[in-house]
């Protein structure tokens, strides 16, 4: 049955402007939903609903497919109804300044706490200075000191009296106390001492020794009293400070009665102020440098403030470096030395998105050192630990801060191409454990009346976003037709007959030639021998040998040497879309059968002779049509295409018009045999039960020559 060429209606699926039910885009609304991605959004829904560990999401799709924008919009709508996460702060650890403590507060409460503590410190400063300068404190302190003096005087008076009773005087010098012999309360002169007998002197020395012990004992008692009074004064000061501070702190604690962390921190502040109340006495608020440096210990460093957040956060981190993800410890130069403290801790994207969703371009993350490893560690540990990047790399061993880790409750959404997904999945054993959900964005949608209208709404969104003038329905219809032309099945695009430069692609007709003769070398791919053939093209040529063997060499060996080449092609050749053309050229050479030169063919072929779909079908047809148009259309010219490619046709108006005027033709074929009558004046011929073809048919001529080749090779081998 002869193959009919396609009608002009089959060459391009037109979009009628009237079918859109509007005249201009001013009459329609912007798109408020996502079209054509049901599977992707079902995966997003699953990933965002499941709370188990490792159910993070990898969104794959081609660049500019809308994968990031559409996913972000979907998650923002979903997050709006979810609870707003808590605020996070860092505060001083008064027991170990190297390990600042983290505080978790309800959303919007962090800056309130910061202001409250600032006010508390100012109140403590005022009240401490006021109290310690007040009459009550002075009286209490005076009483303690006077009590000490009275006790000291009592001990000293008792000692003095005892010394006098033993005829000695107690005299104080710059080096301490000395005992002097005395008579009637006056020191004994040296002349009188010399007049004493040895027994009297010995008795005097013994008495002096005993009195020295008494003096030493009294001095110990006086020193003990001084230590005691110091302790009493310290206790009195602490009691006074506590009396001032405790009510202020307790009053503030009432506002945070349900937050144990804040209660504990306020208790720590109270204890620290009492221990350092002297700083509050010494420093004045007007002494800015010293005042700020000391009282910085009581600051609240708010790193996450969700006071204006409604629902869960959705954060897109466009530059996912280590610090931008994990956070950082900033430093100040003080006297030429680098210094950091808890007030210099800065949040990363993980902190800001905690309790919500963090969107990360996978490729950008992978090219940033330590970012991917740190993200994996954070997800495995379910906590954010801020470390110096030097310690992460093992290159710095200096003392630094180790802030308390913050618990992590987040959903990570990575974006990348299918190739990047496969690469990460194949080369990183942690990837599949941490990213169990895969959402794949399709590059095409079914063309239905509803999708055409939704597409118009999508265009309206782009018009509004970019402040473009309105489109009329004719422009929208042309956009829909052009979009249909761009839609292709993934994995079928090849460059054999299509040249691509940037975003532009056009057909490039190539002449395929074949030469054949008896031999045992099989089919020689000249492009491969010249290192111009890609792996897919080489595979396509090898398939031809399988076709020839199963069709023509069932009763005799295939004794053939043949060569195939793309004439005047000096660049690389890849893809199998010319394998059908190569087979026709090869059998034309074998059977000495001329082929029509006013017709072109494109299509891939398998070993059973089935013609398979190829990519770039529109560009290939239009490229050959332009060549024919330049030479003049005769009415017999045309292109033979795989029938499975008919649904991909979106040809330009010139081709459609030429077909409608019967000046150009497009024939769809499903098998190799169907194309034979279109390229030759012969019928293909069907093999009978004996394995032979009807005389005069294409297959018969090819089989006869292959049998002749086998005989010649056999005869030649026999003569050797």
Q: What is the mean pLDDT of residues 576-594?
A: 80
Kindly report the number of other CB atoms within 10 A of residue 38's CB atom.
Answer: 11
Question: What was the pLDDT predicted at 399?
Answer: 59
Per-residue burial over 421-445, b if 16 or more Cβ lie within 10 Å, else e, is beebeeebeebeebbbbbbbbebeb
Copy the structure tokens of residue 496: 């054999």
Per-residue pLDDT reduced to its tens digit, 371-394: 999 999 999 999 999 988 765 555
Copy the structure tokens of residue 560: 């053939």
On average, the pLDDT of the chain sits at 81
- Give 523's pLDDT tier (boundaries 50, 70, 90): low
Question: What was the pLDDT predicted at 511?
Answer: 65
Cα separation, 135 vs 581, whole angstroms: 111
Of 170-174, 396-400, 572-576, 679-683, which range is least confident? 572-576
Question: What was the pLDDT predicted at 333?
Answer: 77
Tell me the β-bridge partners of 681.
Answer: none
Q: Which of 58-67, 152-161, 310-319, 452-461 has the highest mean pLDDT?
A: 310-319
Cα separation, 155 vs 59, whole angstroms: 88
β 512-517/522-525 pair status: unpaired
Question: What was the pLDDT predicted at 504?
Answer: 46
Question: What was the pLDDT predicted at 568?
Answer: 53
Per-residue pLDDT reduced to its tens digit, 65-100: 778 888 998 999 999 999 999 999 999 999 998 999
Question: What was the pLDDT predicted at 149?
Answer: 78
Question: What was the pLDDT predicted at 493?
Answer: 25
Question: What was the pLDDT predicted at 583?
Answer: 84
Please check the confidence at residue 270 and state whether its pLDDT lies above 90.
yes
Please check the confidence at residue 501 and state whether its pLDDT lies above 60.
no
- Give 494's pLDDT tier (boundaries 50, 70, 90): very low
DSSP letters spanning 385-400? ----HHHHHT---S--
Question: What was the pLDDT predicted at 79?
Answer: 95
Burial class from Cβ neighbours inside 10 Å (0-12, 13-18, 19+) for residue 94 reads middle
Which among 526, 619, 516, 595 has a CA at the least distance from the CA of 565? 526
Of 85-94, 434-443, 542-551, which range is least confident? 542-551
Look-up: residue for tokens 């990360």?
A: 360
The three-state (H, E, C) secondary structure of 476-535, written as one string:
HHHHHHHHHHHCCCCCCCCCCCEEEECCEEEECCCCEEEEEECCCCEEEEHHHHCCCECH
Please check the confidence at residue 303 and state whether its pLDDT lies above 80.
yes
Q: What is the mean pLDDT of residues 413-423?
A: 93
Q: Which of 296-305, 453-462, 610-619, 632-641 has the highest mean pLDDT?
A: 296-305
Q: What is the mean pLDDT of residues 32-42?
A: 80
Q: What is the mean pLDDT of residues 439-452?
A: 83
Please check the confidence at residue 148 and state whether its pLDDT lies above 70.
yes
Instruction: Return all residues near 504 (Cβ < 8 A) that are at least 6 apart.
Output: none
Q: At what angle do helices 653-660 and 617-631 cross, to 10 degrees?
A: 60
Q: Say whether 588 sits in a helix, a strand or coil.
A: helix
Cα separation, 345 vs 303, whole angstroms: 8
Question: What was the pLDDT predicted at 327?
Answer: 94
Q: Which residue has the higher pLDDT, 609 or 261?
A: 261
- The separation between CA 63 and the C-alpha centre of its own chain, rounded to angstroms, equals 16
Please check the confidence at residue 497 and state whether its pLDDT lies above 70.
no
β 599-601/638-642 pair status: parallel
Q: Which of 343-352, 619-628, 679-688 has the highest mean pLDDT?
A: 343-352
Q: Say whether 102 sits in a helix, a strand or coil.
A: strand
- The separation between CA 275 and the C-alpha centre of its own chain, rounded to angstroms, equals 46
Instruction: Return all residues near 431 (Cβ < 8 A) that are at least 6 apart.
Output: 424, 425
Instruction: Return all residues near 520 (Cβ < 8 A) that are at least 6 apart.
Output: 559, 560, 561, 713
Rg (CA), the chain: 48
Question: What was the pLDDT predicted at 509?
Answer: 60
DSSP symbol at 286? T
Of 241-250, 300-309, 352-361, 488-497, which range is least confident? 488-497
Per-residue pLDDT reduced to its tens digit, 365-376: 999 999 999 999
Please check the confidence at residue 570 and state whether its pLDDT lies above 50.
no
Q: Say whether 208 sits in a helix, a strand or coil.
A: helix
Cα separation, 586 vs 433, whole angstroms: 52
CA dihedral sign, ordered 75, 80, 83, 88? positive
Q: Say whether 470 sits in a helix, a strand or coil.
A: coil
Cβ proximity of 13 and 451 under 8 Å: no
Please check the confidence at residue 536 and state whether its pLDDT lies above 70.
no
Kindly report the number of other CB atoms within 10 A of residue 30's CB atom.
Answer: 14
pTM for this prediction:
0.67
Please check the confidence at residue 506 and state whether its pLDDT lies above 70.
no
- Give 424's pLDDT tier (boundaries 50, 70, 90): very high
Cβ proximity of 41 and 74 under 8 Å: yes
Apex 271 CA angle, 268 and 276, nearest 5: 120
């Amino acid at each position: 049955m002869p193959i009919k060429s396609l009608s002009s209606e089959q060459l391009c699926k037109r979009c009628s402007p009237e079918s859109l039910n509007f005249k201009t885009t001013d009459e329609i609304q912007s798109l408020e939903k996502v079209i054509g991605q049901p599977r992707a959004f079902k995966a997003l829904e699953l990933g965002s609903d499941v709370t188990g560990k490792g159910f993070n999401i990898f969104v794959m799709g081609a660049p500019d497919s809308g994968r990031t924008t559409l996913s972000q919009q979907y998650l923002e709508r979903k997050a709006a109804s979810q609870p707003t996460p808590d605020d996070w702060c860092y505060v001083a650890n008064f027991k170990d300044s190297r390990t600042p403590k983290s505080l978790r507060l309800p959303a919007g409460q962090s800056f309130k706490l910061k202001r409250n503590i600032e006010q508390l410190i100012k109140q403590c400063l005022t009240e401490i200075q006021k109290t310690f300068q007040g009459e009550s404190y002075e009286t209490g302190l005076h009483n303690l000191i006077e009590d000490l003096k009275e006790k000291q005087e009592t001990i000293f008076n008792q000692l003095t009296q005892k010394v006098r009773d033993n005829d000695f005087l107690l005299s104080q010098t710059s080096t301490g106390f000395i005992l002097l012999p005395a008579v009637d309360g006056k020191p004994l002169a040296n002349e009188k001492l010399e007049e004493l007998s040895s027994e009297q002197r010995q008795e005097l020395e013994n008495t002096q020794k005993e009195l020295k012990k008494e003096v030493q004992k009294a001095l110990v008692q006086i020193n003990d009293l001084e230590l005691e009074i110091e302790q009493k004064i310290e206790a009195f000061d602490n009691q006074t400070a506590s009396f001032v501070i405790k009510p202020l702190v307790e009053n503030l604690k009432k506002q945070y009665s349900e937050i144990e962390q804040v209660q504990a921190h306020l208790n720590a502040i109270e204890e620290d102020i009492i221990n350092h109340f002297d700083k509050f006495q010494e420093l004045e608020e007007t002494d800015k440098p010293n005042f700020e440096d000391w009282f910085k210990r009581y600051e609240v460093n708010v790193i996450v403030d969700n006071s204006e957040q409604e629902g869960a956060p959705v954060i897109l981190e466009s530059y996912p470096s280590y610090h931008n993800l994990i956070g950082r410890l900033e430093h100040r130069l003080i006297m030429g030395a680098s210094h950091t403290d808890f007030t210099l801790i800065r949040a990363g994207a993980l902190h800001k998105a905690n309790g919500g969703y963090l969107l990360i371009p996978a490729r950008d993350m992978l090219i940033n050192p330590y970012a991917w490893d740190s993200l994996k560690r954070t997800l495995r540990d379910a906590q954010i630990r801020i470390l110096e990047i030097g310690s992460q790399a093992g290159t710095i061993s200096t003392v630094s801060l180790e802030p308390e880790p913050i618990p992590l409750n987040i959903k990570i959404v990575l974006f990348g191409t299918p190739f990047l997904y496969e690469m990460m999945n194949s080369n990183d054993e942690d990837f599949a454990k941490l990213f169990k959900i895969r959402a794949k964005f399709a590059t095409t949608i079914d063309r239905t009346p509803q999708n055409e209208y939704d597409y118009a709404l999508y265009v309206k969104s782009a018009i509004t976003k970019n402040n473009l003038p309105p489109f009329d329905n004719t422009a929208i219809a042309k956009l829909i037709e052009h979009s249909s032309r761009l839609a292709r099945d993934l994995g079928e695009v090849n460059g054999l007959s299509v040249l691509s430069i940037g975003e532009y692609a056009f057909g490039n007709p190539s002449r395929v030639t074949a030469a054949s003769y008896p031999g045992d070398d099989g089919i020689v791919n000249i492009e491969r021998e010249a290192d111009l053939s890609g792996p897919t093209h080489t595979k396509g040529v090898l398939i031809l040998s399988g076709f020839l063997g199963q069709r023509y060499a069932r009763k005799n060996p295939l004794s053939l040497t043949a060569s195939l080449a793309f004439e005047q092609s000096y660049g690389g050749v890849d893809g199998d879309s010319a394998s059908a053309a190569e087979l026709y050229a090869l059998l034309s050479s074998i059977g000495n059968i001329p082929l029509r030169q006013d017709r072109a063919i494109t299509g891939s072929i398998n070993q059973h002779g089935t013609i398979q779909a190829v990519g770039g079908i529109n560009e290939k047809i239009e490229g050959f049509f332009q060549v024919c148009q330049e030479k003049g259309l005769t009415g017999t010219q045309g292109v033979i295409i795989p029938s499975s490619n008919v649904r991909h046709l979106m040809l330009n108006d010139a081709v459609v018009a030429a077909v409608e005027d019967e000046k150009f033709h497009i024939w769809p074929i499903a098998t190799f045999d169907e194309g034979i009558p279109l390229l030759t004046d012969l019928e293909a011929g069907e093999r009978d039960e004996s394995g032979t073809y009807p005389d005069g048919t294409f297959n018969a001529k090819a089989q006869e020559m292959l049998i002749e080749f086998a005989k010649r090779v056999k005869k030649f081998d026999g003569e050797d």
